[in-house]
A and B are shown apart, each in its own frame.
Chain A
Amino acid sequence: MATVERKTGGGIGEAVLRKEDRKFVTGEGRYVDDLRLPGMLHAVFVRSPFGHARITGIDTAAAEALPGVHRVLTHATLPAETGVLCASNPPGSDVRQPEQPLLARDEVRYVGEPVAIVIADDRYLARDGADLVHVDYDPLPVVCDAEAALADGAPLVHSEYPDNAAATLFHETDGFAEALAGAARTVELRVVNQRVTPMPMETRGCIGDWQQSTGEVTLHTSTQVAHFVRTFISFVCGTSEAKVRVVTPDVGGGFGAKLNTYREEFAVCSASRVLGVPVKWIEDRSENAVATIHGRDQIQYYTAGVDESGRIVALKLEAFQNNGAYHQLLTPTISHLTVFMVPGCYDIQNISIRMRQAFTNTTPTDAYRGAGRPEATHGIERLMDAIADDLGLDPAEVRRVNFIKPEQFPYSSSTGLVYDSGDYDTTLDEALRLADYAGFAARRAASEANGRYRGIGLSTYVEVCGLAPSAVTAAIGVGAPGWEHSTVRLHPTGKATVITGTSPHGQGHATSWSQIVQTELGVPFEDVEVIHGDTAFQPYGLGTYGSRSLAVGGVALYRSLGKVREKAREIAANLLECSVDDLEWTGSSWQVKGSPDRAKTIQELAGAAWAASSMPEGVEPVLEATTFHDPPNFTFPFGTHVCEVEIDPDTGRVEIVNYTAVDDCGNVINPMIVDGQVHGGIIQGLGQALYEETVYGEDGQMLTPTLVEYLVPSAADVPPMTLARTTTPSPSNPMGVKGIGEAGTIAASAAIVNAAVDALSGLGVRHLEMPMQPARIWNVIQEATS
C-alpha cells in the first residue's frame, strides 16, 4: 500500500496526525497516579497468598500502631451500607453468581484476593503497614484447571456450587447429528487457548473522594467504562447513582483489563467514606498480575464432518472455559462471543456447540483484546489447516471452498448472527500476492539447505464488532445495553465541543471525531474539542471496548452532526429569507442553490442560533444536538493474515521472517490510526502465540507474577509487518464503518501457529500449542524425529 501523506489537520479518510500527542510527548499527560487531591491518603491492599483458604483471624493492631498508618479496614469494618460485587448478568439468569465481598469475608479463593486495606500518609508507610497485618489462614484444596474443576470429586471453589459449574451454553442446529453422521470423513482437533494477561503498561489505580457532608462521591479511576463504574458504585457502596461522579483521567492502555468494575474501586470509596479524606490506590505490576482480570483459558475439542473437497458439512465443538474464582463484569459473557464466531468466515450450516464454564481457584477471566473471538478464530483456523493436512489439500483452497461468498451477504450464520458484508476471497488473494505465496516453495528449499525448517500459515478471519445491539445484549443475559451517546455543541464563536460516551485510552478519538466533525459540519479540525470519560458531562456512555467506538459512538456523533446541520438549515433559510428546499450544503455553509453570494457559514449560523434574535418559529436557540444510537446490527470486519516462519532445529526457536496482513474494516476515518491499531493488535496476538502464558502451579500459586516471568515482547522480539487494506463498507450504518481495534489480535495467533505447524509438517507434526516457546518446539521435534 502506498504511504498516505500525513497531515496536521483534515477530514474523513485522511492520515491526520493526532491532536492528543503533544501532552504525552511533553510529559503533560495526566494519568491517575499523577493526580493529587488535598489531604489525600494512600492505600495498599493485603492480599491472599493462598489459592484457597479459610480465614481464621486477622490482626491489624501492629499495622495500626505504626506511625503514619491511619486505618486498616477488613470486611468486618467496612461501612455497614457496603454490598457485594457480581457480574453484569441480572438475577434470575442461568449464570451462577457467587458473591464477591470487597474484602474477603471468611474464605479466599485465589492468590491475590484482597483481604484488608491499609491507609497511610504515603504509599511507603502503607506498604510497611501491610506487612504488619497478620492473617491466619487454614489452607483448603485447590483446583486451577477448567476440565479438572468439572470432573467428579474436584475440590469445590464455592461450597454452595457442588460441581464448580458456572454456566453452560448449548447451541445445536436441526439436523446436525444426521449431517455429521453422513459426512465422508471426520477431522478432530484439540486446541488450548492458554491463559494470558492483558498487561496494559499503566496498571490500574484510583482515587476515591467521599464528601461526608453531602454524600457525594467522586472516583478518579483508570477505566474504559466510567458509567458502568458509577452504576456499580451506587449498588455496591449503597448510595444514590446521582451522587456519584466517575472521572477518567488519561488511561495508559486497557485491552479489556479496564473494561470492568473492581473491588479496589469500591474499597477506596468506602475508605474515603470512613476517613473523610481522598484515598488513592495505585496497583503494583506484581499486584496487577493477580488482581486484574486475565483472559482466554479455553480448551476446545473440535469434530468436523467434511467432504472430499474439504468442505465442512457439520461442525461440533465441546469447549471448557475457565472463569476463575468469581464472575467479574463480563466473565460469563465472553463465552457467548466465542459461540457466536465458531463458524468463522465459513458457510457452515450444521453446528453443535457446548461451552461449559467452570469456577477455579484462579483470578477471574474476562475480556482481553478480542474477548472470546480470538478463541473462536484460533480454533477454526487451526481446524482448517488440520483438514487440509488430513486431506492433502492446500490450506488456501480449503478456505476458499468453505468461504461465505460475496453474493450470500447479508448472511445468516448458524449461530444466529447476520453478517453485514464481506468479500473474503479478495483479501485472501491480495494477501497471498503480497506474501508471495507462490514463491514459498523456493524459500522453503533455501531454508532447508541451511538446516532450518520453514513454514507459511494463513489466518482468514471475520470478527463480530460494534458491540452491541441492545436487544442482543439482553438476549445473551447481559444486564446492560449496547448503544452509545454523543452530543455536539456549537459555541457562539463557531467552535465545537463533542461530548462522546466512548472512552479512548490510546485509540485517538479526539482526532478521529474531529475529522468527522470537519467533514460533516465544516468546523475545522483544530476548532473541535472532544470530552470523554467523565460522568458529569455525559448522560451515559457505554465506553470503549469490543471495537465499538467508531461503529457505535462514531455513528452516534455522525447522527448528531446531521441534526445540527439540519437545524442550521432552518435558521439559514430564515436568515436568507428562502425555503429550506432552496438551500444546498457546501460542506461548511448553507447557500441558496446556485448563489454562492447568498450563504451562511456554520459558524455564522452558530452565532445566530445563540443570539436567537431571528429564529424560525418553533426552533429553539443554540446549535446543539444529542443522539443515543442503538446499532441495528453488529459489524463484521474481516481479512487475511499470512505469516512465514523459520525454526531453528537446534534450539526450537520460531522466528517470524515475514508477516503480511490485509484487513477490511469498511470505510476508514484515519488510515494512520487504523494501521497503528493493526500493528499493536498483531503483536498482542504474536505475544500469545510465542511468548505469553499466565501459569498457576498445582498448589494454586501464580508462577508468572512479574514482567520477568510473563513475557510481554519488546521491539527486539517482534518483526516488522506489511499491511494492506480492502474496503467493503458496512450497510449497517450510514458511515459504512466497521471497527479495527481487535482485528490484529484475533487474526494473528492462528497465522503464526499455522506457519510453525507447516514448518514441521514434514516431520508429521499436525498441531502445536501456544505459547510456542523454544523448549516446547524442540521437544516436539525430538519426539517427531526419534
Chain B
Amino acid sequence: MSDAVLTIENLAIALPKGADRPLAVAGVNLELHAGKVTCLIGESGSGKSLVARAILGLLPAPHVRVADGRILFEGADLARAKPAEMRAIRGARIAMIFQEPMTALNPLHTIGRQIDEVLRIHTSLPRAQRLARVVELLESVNLPEPARMLRSFPHQLSGGQRQRAMIAMALALKPRLLIADEPTTALDVTTQAQILQLIRDLQREHGTAVLFITHDFGVVADIADSVAVLQKGDLVEQGSAAQVLGRPVHAYTQALIAAVPKLAAPAAQPPSTAPFILQARDVEKTYGARGLFGGNATKALNRVCIELRRGETLGLVGESGSGKSTLARAVTRLMTVNDGEILISGRDIARMTRSQLRPMRKRVQMVFQDPYGSLDPRQRVVDIIAEGPIIHGTDPQAARKEACELLALVGLDPSAAQRFAHEFSGGQRQRIGIARALALRPELLVADEPVSALDVSVQAQVLALLADIKTRLQLSMLFVTHDLRVALQVCDRIAVMQKGEVVEVAPTSAIYGNPQHPYTKALFAAVPGAHWQDRLTQETMAS
C-alpha cells in the first residue's frame, strides 16, 4: 500500500550479553498507515516497548541497539539517522505518549509552559500566537477551563487530566505518527474509556497514524484498525482487528484471547445460607489531618457494611481511591479503623489487643498485589512459606516439610523450596504468596488485586488456582479487584465501592444483568472491548 507513514522492515534489536535472549525482537515487519490505529500487543518481555523506542531512536544505547533492518519514515531510515536529525523528527513529526504521565511531565513547570516549550523549540511562532495555540490544544483534548489548566502544575491535575495534557503536547505540532505506549494502563476504567475515545477522535480528525502499544485485548477491540501480536520478540500474527480478534490463526494469539475473562455473568446461584464468617458494620477510617498544621482529612471508609458467608467469594470492585484496599487491610487488621465493628465468626477484631489478635491471625490471611514486593528478597521460599506456622508454634522441621507440600498444591516444583524469590517470574511469585497464606490453614482469604500485576495468560492460571484451592479447602474469599471481567469470573457476590462507600451489593448475575446504582452502570459501560467476545461467540455459533 502506498499510504504507509512508517514502514518497519525486518527490524532486529540486540540485547546486551547475559540477557535472556540475544535479540529482543527479530524480523519485525510492520506498516503504519495514515488515519489508522495499529495495536502492537504482547505480554511483558515481548519487546513491544523496545520497538516503539527504536522508532524514536531512544533505545538505551550502547547496550540495546538496532542490529538489523530499516525503519522508513518520510523517505529516511530512522535506524541510521543521526541524533540531530532524530531530534528534529521527535516531537514534531513523531510524537509519543507514555504510560505514566506524572513521570513524563516536569513537576516544576506549569502545563502551559511545557506545551509552549514544544512550540518554541520546533516553530518560530510569536509568543501571543503560541499562547492561543496552547489554549486551543487544551480545549481540543476536552480539558475543563483551559485558562486555569495553563497555569496548573502536573500534581494539581488528576491522572486522566495529566494524560490529556500529554496528548495535547504530543499533538501540538500535528505529527504524522503518534506512538502511545500503554497510555491508559495506569488509569481507572472510566477514565480509560474517555482517553481511548479522545485518541480515536483526534486521530480521525487529523489523519494521524497511531502505533498503540498495549497488553489489554479489551483496549485493542475498542481502538484498533489493525493488530500485530508480538511473542518473545517474534511477530507471530498481524492483520485487521476483526480478523485477528475474530479468527486468530496463530496458537499464541488464540491462547491469549482465550485467557481474557469473559464479560459475562455466571448463572444465578441460590443465595447462600451458610453462617457469616465476616461481618463489617459501620466501619470508618480517616486518613490525614494530623501533624502541626492539620491538613484535610480524607474519609477512606465511610460507614462501610459488608457481609460474607462461609464458602462464598465476595468481590470488592471500584476505582483507585474508592477505599477497597483500605477495607481489605482493615479486615485483616493490618490497619486499625476509627470506628465500627469487624466480626470474624462473630468476634470483633477491630478492638482486640495484640495478644488477643494472635490466634485470630491464623483464620484470616492475605494475598498481596505486588508479586515483587510481597516476598522477602533475603529468605528462601521454604522459609517464607513456613514462617507463619513457625510463628504459631509448629515445629520448624514439620513446618518446612509442610511448606514443600504446599508448593506442590500451588503448582510449583519442590525444587523451588531452596531458591530465592527473585529467581521466579511474577506468576510464580504470586503462587508462593498464595502458599504462604494457605500455610496457616485460614478460613478467610483476602486477596488484594492478586492478578493485577500479571500478564493475561498467567492471570488466568492464577485465577484457576485460586478457584481450585477455594473449593478444595472450602475457603471463603474477599476478592479486591478493579477489573470487572475478573470479578465476574470469580465472585459469587459483588460489592461496588465509590469514594469510601459501598454503593451497591448484589449477586454477580444480578449486578451484571441489572445494575441499580448509576456508578455501577458507568463502570460496566466503561469496560474496554465490552462486547467483542460476545460477537466472537455468536460468530462461531453461526458458522
Tell whether A pairs with B: no
